Amino acid sequence: MKTDLPTQQSPSLADLNFDNRFVRELPADQNYSNHVRQVERACFSYVQPTPVVAPQLVAYSHEVATLLDLDQPTCESDLFVQVFAGNQLSPGMEPYACCYGGHQFGNWAGQLGDGRAINLGEIVNHLGARWALQLKGAGPTPYSRRADGLAVLRSSVREFLCSEAMHHLGVPTTRALSLILTGEQVTRDMFYDGHPKQEPGAVVCRVAPSFTRFGSFQIFTSRNEIDQLRQLVDYTICTDFSHLGEPSVVVYLKWFEEICRKTAAMIVHWMRVGFVHGVMNTDNMSILGLTIDYGPYGWLEDYNPDWTPNTTDAQGRRYRFGNQPQIALWNLAQLANAIYPLIEQTEPLEEALQLYGFCYKQGWQEMMAQKLGLKQFEPEYDLPLTAELEKVLLLVETDMTIFYRKLADLDLVDGQDNDNLLAPLLDAYYQPEELTEKNKQQICDWLRTYLKRVGQDGHRNVERRQQMNAVNPKYVLRNYLAQIAIDKSEAGDHSLVNDLLQVMRDPYAEQPENEEFAQKRPDWARHRAGCSMLSCSS
């Protein structure tokens, strides 16, 4: 495909080994014009990024640069900024946008696609690992519908930081290479309330082995384009699941089972760290079990299983924290329906969905044992223990992250009165004055049961603390922290974006010099825009 953006040599960028197997092996849209339309019988459309007037680097991830064989001088060069803002193409890039559909809030939405994402191509690094590079906010595509294909700094800061924070937390996720200002203004109505305003535009370069989604398969089945469905499934297996063998009905089923296992593992991690995705539509579910598409996500501040960060979901709360395991299963069932024409057997697909339930249950129990510092989860004792813990967390407004972190500080000492027993946990409560004597008694009853259970394991305090602090983070990307960074960045000061990136690189360490970033949400942020709930607006 001939490109019309300028190319330019660079010692490192020019050496990137672009493989671009996706566009080489899968069916392309034969219409090369960039206008909104229904794209049929194609996995993607060729499209060019829209050049911007004055790109400026805000931040980049050293770790992701290393994955791509890029060194520091290259990442801090003007050419890097021009390429990853969408102004230039490095040799080997073949930009395209993907076609996919999806269920949004439980309803089939038809064709969706990469409306503001443009893939630059896939590279193979010196270790043989495949990485797809994708610009988010680089202009319109045939899938942009009524939108402009752009992104603003506000959402771009959040996506850039959260992608990297999640990785360092140990959560399967797409990554982020760079965050670049465009030098242009973008009009957005943040809360869809008739008050649009101009905001600074930005582009994030996202990185993943693949950006294929559940909806990538659904769109073909919905249109009865079974040949294209088979092509995409076979490609995905050969490229991302080659260990399963050559595509066949048997391998299709093994593939779906692995997707179920990977998805279950991802959801367990979300529940472990208190992450709420906010938009678990099937087009936002990665075939690789990666967290993808950081829109109106959020972190549980006070523990509330019914909380959703998405204003669009405020009434139905479909994507609330406590419902994420069930929604993942529902989404997997839609994927099963999509690949059924290749298998034509219901029972093995249903068994795979049951496998998801088994893997999630087992993974959740193992995760809770780790969070509580237990050697292993003993259902007879630990199901009642965790059920009562949830009641305790709901008694008063309790910061989930701080509670689990401070729980490790409890000593296995008999005979403590309630006040002394509760003292290490006081920082976790937003309104300590609401701790009535009745509440204190219920919490301390649980703490004594918990400490007795820990004592039965024979764990010493130091061993238990090491185990718990390895899975219970001290630092998460709280919404109010991201919002302060956004406010400063919009004013031209990008230092906090980079400071947070640095802090989140080691979220389980104490980092005494960064204690301010471990504090619970301040009261001023309780209802402030960007600090609590967010909209689906860019």
The residues carrying an active-site annotation are: 283
d(CA 135, CA 139): 9
HSE, side-chain direction, 13 A CA sphere, residue 505: 12
Token representation of residue 256? 């779906």
Contacts of 22 (CB under 8 A, 6+ apart): 43, 44, 96, 119, 122, 132, 235
Token representation of residue 170? 């140990």
d(CA 382, CA 387): 8
Asked if residue 263 lies in contact with residue 285, where contact means CB atoms within 8 angstroms, the answer is: yes
Asked if residue 208 lies in contact with residue 290, where contact means CB atoms within 8 angstroms, the answer is: yes
**What value does the CA radius of gyration of the chain take, rounded to a whole number of Å?**
24
| Dihedral sign from CA coordinates of 165, 167, 171, 175 | positive
Token representation of residue 200? 């600074």
Task: Tell me the backbone φ, ψ of residue 46, rounded to 5 degrees.
Answer: -70, 135
Asked if residue 71 lies in contact with residue 126, where contact means CB atoms within 8 angstroms, the answer is: no
d(CA 489, CA 181): 10
Contacts of 202 (CB under 8 A, 6+ apart): 58, 137, 151, 152, 153, 156, 157, 179, 180, 181, 182
Asked if residue 282 lies in contact with residue 218, where contact means CB atoms within 8 angstroms, the answer is: yes
d(CA 55, CA 82): 7
Residue found under tokens 């699941």 = 241
d(CA 84, CA 399): 38
Helix (H) or strand (E) holding 59: strand 56-60
154-166 burial: b if 16+ Cβ within 10 Å, else e: bbbbbbbbbbbbb
d(CA 25, CA 228): 11
Token representation of residue 74? 């290259």
DSSP assignment letter at 388: H
